[in-house]
């Protein structure tokens, strides 16, 4: 294999890395965080934009600090932050909140700064998702995306417009039913699916 084709293969594979992979890498190599962030943002450039206004709700309850699985070093919070970073870059208009015991609006920052803001926005305690949805339903928007491990201490009301629950824990029985569109996973396919779903709808 020539040097040129080998390099092209490496670039192609590199561009398929997801935000939470860069988040994990930065934890192990903090001195490289700036370079990793630049690479991550290059990976997100050029993706199809999600038109209209998106409201994003990110679960920061205590259970989100658990690993994705018994064998995984990635915690649910990292996966959620990865989806949030992705959404921030492709949403045309954007407002973002975290929820635990409270609902907290946070600045729509970019990259690792957004991850840090999510994690530090409030104490990681309960899961008052119903209260959070009721609060953000008062905001004019085209879609509401909730990133959660689907544990809620309350009944979750219907979304005002298009509503999506992205489950980063894959419980068998979750809260994303009824008027909600349920999505299991945390890759770039989540946003691709929403774009396609609304295009067909």
pLDDT tier, 7 (very low <50, low <70, confident <90, very high otherwise): very low
pLDDT tens digits for range 56-90: 999 999 999 988 776 777 789 988 988 898 889 88
pLDDT tens digits for range 126-138: 999 999 999 999 9
Sheet architecture: strand order including 50-59: 103-106, 91-99, 50-59, 143-148, 162-167, 181-184
Is the whole-model pTM more than 0.85? no
Written out in words, the top-level CATH class of the domain with range 46-200 is alpha beta
pLDDT tens digits for range 19-42: 767 777 777 777 877 877 777 777
pLDDT tens digits for range 125-178: 999 999 999 999 999 999 999 999 877 778 889 999 899 999 888 654 455 457
For the chain, give every domain's residue range: 46-200
Contact by Cβ (8 Å): 158, 180? yes
Which CA distances in Å does 4 have to 12, 14, 16, 162?
12, 15, 19, 46
């Amino acid at each position: 294999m020539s040097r040129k084709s080998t390099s092209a293969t490496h670039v192609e594979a590199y561009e398929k890395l997801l935000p939470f992979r860069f988040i994990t890498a930065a934890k192990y190599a903090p001195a490289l965080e700036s370079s990793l962030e630049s690479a991550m943002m290059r990976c997100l450039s050029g993706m199809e934009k999600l038109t209209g206004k998106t409201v994003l709700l990110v679960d920061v309850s205590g259970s989100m600090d658990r690993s994705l699985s018994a064998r995984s070093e990635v915690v649910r919070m990292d996966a959620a932050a990865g989806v949030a970073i992705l959404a921030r870059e492709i949403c045309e208009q954007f407002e973002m909140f975290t929820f635990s015991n409270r609902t907290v609006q946070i600045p729509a920052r970019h990259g690792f700064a957004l991850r840090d803001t999510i994690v530090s926005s409030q104490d990681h305690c309960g899961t008052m998702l119903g209260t959070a949805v009721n609060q953000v339903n008062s905001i004019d928007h085209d879609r509401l995306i909730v990133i959660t491990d689907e544990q809620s201490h309350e009944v979750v009301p219907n979304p005002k417009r298009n509503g999506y629950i992205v489950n980063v824990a894959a419980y068998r029985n979750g809260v994303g039913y009824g008027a909600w569109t349920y999505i299991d996973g945390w890759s770039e396919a989540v946003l691709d699916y929403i774009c396609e779903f609304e295009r067909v709808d």
